[in-house]
Amino acid sequence: MVASISARKSVGAAVAYFKHMAQDEYYTKENEAEAESDWDGHGSQRLALDGDVSRRDFEALLNGYDPKTGEPLVQTGNKSHAPGWDMTYSAPKSVSVLWALSTPHERSKIEAAHRQAVSVATKHLEDNHAFTRRGKGGTVREPVAGLTIARFHHHTSRDLDPQLHTHAFIFNAAPRHDQTWGTLISRELYKAQKETGAVYRNQLANALEREGHVIDRQGSSFRMRAIPHHIERAFSKRRQAIEEAAKAHGYRTPKGMELAALRTRQAKRPRERAALFQAWSQEARALGFKLPDRQQQIAPSRSTPKAIQPQRTTASSPSLSQSLQRLVLTAALAFRSSRGMSGLNVSLRDSNRDHDIEAER
């Protein structure tokens, strides 16, 4: 599933979620096991939230407070109040494998395309599917002026296969157009899950095509042609484990697949990123696969146009003006020989050029 949504039903559960999301299995020695994070949405802009997501700011919003001023934004005393929802956007597996096996320069462009696609998808949610209530009993429904979103960018599955994905945590506190704040109608977010996933996939596919990659569209999804199906499958160990657990326990429903995922979930095992790239490269080589050169991956429509070949003007290929000179000379000789112009047969074709064309046929 490319886009999924799940609720955090209490502040305590959401705080535990933050601890989980703030870690990444993919890290550098200078910034160990800390996931890259940022703020998104007009709600975040209104609160002047920028840069990395801190636990302090995250918890303040979970409790309905402005992280900067401490002023209350929404009422959270209701026992049924949910502090927020995790909307996760995952790149198609072939995109993640391409990212893992590419050069650092290409990896950065693929990851940037993924993050931009997430931004477009959450903006679509913000503009079309985010509503709040007001009035007695919440009878008045109105669109919000924006969403408040904390994003956490991850790079691997729990089985340490490459898997680009972003957790977009949508706080249950959104600005209204009259400068007040309200809680969200969660049902609209759930109803938009498939639609926002399609927006994400379409944006990502278009961005990768603009970079020259060849993609194969499959309905509302797509895959990278440079990655064979068996290689994609080999880097999907997490999915294979879930499928095997579902088969063993007879799970066939979405809820059953969720239980299978929980049964097979492993603890996070952070590894230094250079070691991960080396391991992925070795695994691909062991499977007999080497990523095609960048030029071989470029779509024909995106390839560098062939330069227009100029007409040959070398000594072996006379120009038109030279042919005209021969015509004039031939005519003069004809008159001199008193044969006139009768029977004169002059061709302006380049004999060598015609020979080349015949050879190509």
The reported pTM is 0.73
Report whether pLDDT(151) > 90. Answer: yes
| Percentage with pLDDT > 90 across the chain | 51
Rounded Cα distance, 91 and 89, in Å: 7
Rounded Cα distance, 164 and 54, in Å: 22
pLDDT band at 249 (very low <50, low <70, confident <90, very high): low
- The tens digit of pLDDT for each residue in 338-351 reads 333 333 333 333 33
Phi-psi label, residue 250: left if phi above 0, alpha if psi -120 to 50, beta otherwise: left
Rounded Cα distance, 101 and 62, in Å: 38
- The tens digit of pLDDT for each residue in 63-112 reads 999 999 999 999 876 766 788 999 999 999 999 999 999 999 999 999 99
Tokens of 235: 């880097």
**What is the DSSP code (8-state) at residue 157?**
-
16, containing H or E segment: helix 11-21
Tell me, what's the pLDDT at 321? 44
pLDDT band at 258 (very low <50, low <70, confident <90, very high): low
User: What φ, ψ does residue 8 adopt, rounded to 5°?
Assistant: -110, 110
228, containing H or E segment: none
Tell me, what's the pLDDT at 245? 52
Q: Nearest 5°: CA angle at 295, between 289 and 301?
A: 120
The widest CA-to-CA distance across the chain, in whole angstroms, is 117
Identify residue 46 by its one-letter amino acid code.
R
Rounded Cα distance, 211 and 146, in Å: 31
Max mean pLDDT among 18-22, 30-34, 335-339 falls in 18-22
User: What φ, ψ does residue 327 adopt, rounded to 5°?
Assistant: -60, -45
Rounded Cα distance, 345 and 352, in Å: 18
Rounded Cα distance, 153 and 19, in Å: 14
Residues ≥6 apart with Cβ < 8 Å to 195: 124, 129
Contact in structure between 227 and 287 (CB atoms under 8 Å): no
Contact in structure between 95 and 208 (CB atoms under 8 Å): yes
Domain extent listing, the chain: 3-235+270-302, 320-360
Average pLDDT along the chain: 77
pLDDT band at 353 (very low <50, low <70, confident <90, very high): very low
User: What φ, ψ does residue 220 adopt, rounded to 5°?
Assistant: -90, 0
Average pLDDT on 240-247 reads 54
User: What φ, ψ does residue 337 adopt, rounded to 5°?
Assistant: -80, 5
Rounded Cα distance, 49 and 42, in Å: 10
What angle in degrees, to the nearest 10, is found between the helix axes of 55-62 and 11-21?
150
Average pLDDT on 178-184 reads 94
Choose among 54, 37, 274, 280: nearest CA to 154. Answer: 37
> Per residue in 86-99, is it b (16+ CB within 10 Å) or e — as a string?
bbbbbbbbbbbbbb
